[in-house]
Amino acid sequence: MCLQEKLDEYFEWFHKNPELSYEEYATTAKIKEILKTEGIGILSCDLETGVVAVIEGEKDGPVQALRCDIDGLPIQEETGLGYASRYAGRMHACGHDFHIVAGIGCAILLNERKSELAGTVKIIFQPAEESSLGALKVLETDALGDVEQIWGIHADPTNEAGVIGIREGYVTAAVDRFVINVRGTGCHGAHPDDGIDPVPAASAIVQGFQTVTARNINAFHPALISVTRIEAGNTWNVIPENAVMEGTVRTMDRKDRILIEKRMREIVEYTARAYGAEADLEWIAGPPATYNDGEMVLKCAQTAKRCGFQTVPEESSMGGDDFAFYEEKISGCYMKIGTGKGQLIHQPGFMIDKKVIFPAAQYLSALFVGKN
List contacts with Ni ion (CB under 5 A). Answer: 94
Residue 220 is classified by DSSP as T
Min. distance of Cβ 129 from Ni ion in angstroms?
A: 6
* Rounded distance between C-alpha atoms, residue 302 and residue 297, angstroms: 9
Residues belonging to the chain: 372
Least distance (Å) between residue 296 CB and Ni ion: 20
- Collapsing DSSP states into helix, strand and coil, what is residue 228? strand
Measured from each CB, the residue nearest to Ni ion is: 94
* Torsions phi, psi for 109 (to 5 deg): -65, -40
In whole angstroms, the minimum distance from the beta carbon of 369 to Ni ion comes to 27
Q: Give 55 or 94: the residue with its C-beta nearer to Ni ion.
A: 94
Q: Rounded to whole angstroms, how far apart are CA atoms 342 and 292?
A: 26
Question: Which is closer to Ni ion, CB of 227 or CB of 345?
Answer: 345
**How far apart are alpha carbons 50 and 306 in whole angstroms?**
31
- Rounded (5°) CA angle 74-75-79: 145
Helix (H, G, I), strand (E, B) or coil at 91: strand
- For 54, the enclosing helix (H) or strand (E) is strand 51-56
In the complex, minimum distance from the CB of residue 73 to Ni ion, in angstroms, rounded to a whole number = 9
Closest distance of CB 204 from Ni ion, Å: 37
The rounded radius of gyration (Å) of the Cα atoms in the chain is 24
Beta bridge partners of 310: 163
- DSSP secondary-structure letter at 216? I
Which is closer to Ni ion, CB of 94 or CB of 264? 94
CB nearer Ni ion, residue 158 or residue 203 = 158
Q: Which residue lies nearer to Ni ion by CB, 64 or 126? A: 126
Q: Which is nearer to Ni ion, 7 or 94 (CB)?
A: 94
Amino acid of residue 262: K
CB of 101 to Ni ion, least distance (A): 15
Specify the residue, 129 or 261, whose C-beta has the smaller distance to Ni ion: 129
Hey, which residues does 188 pair with through a beta bridge?
Answer: 238
Give the shortest CB-241-to-Ni ion separation in angstroms.
Answer: 40
Alpha-carbon span 238 to 236, nearest angstrom: 6
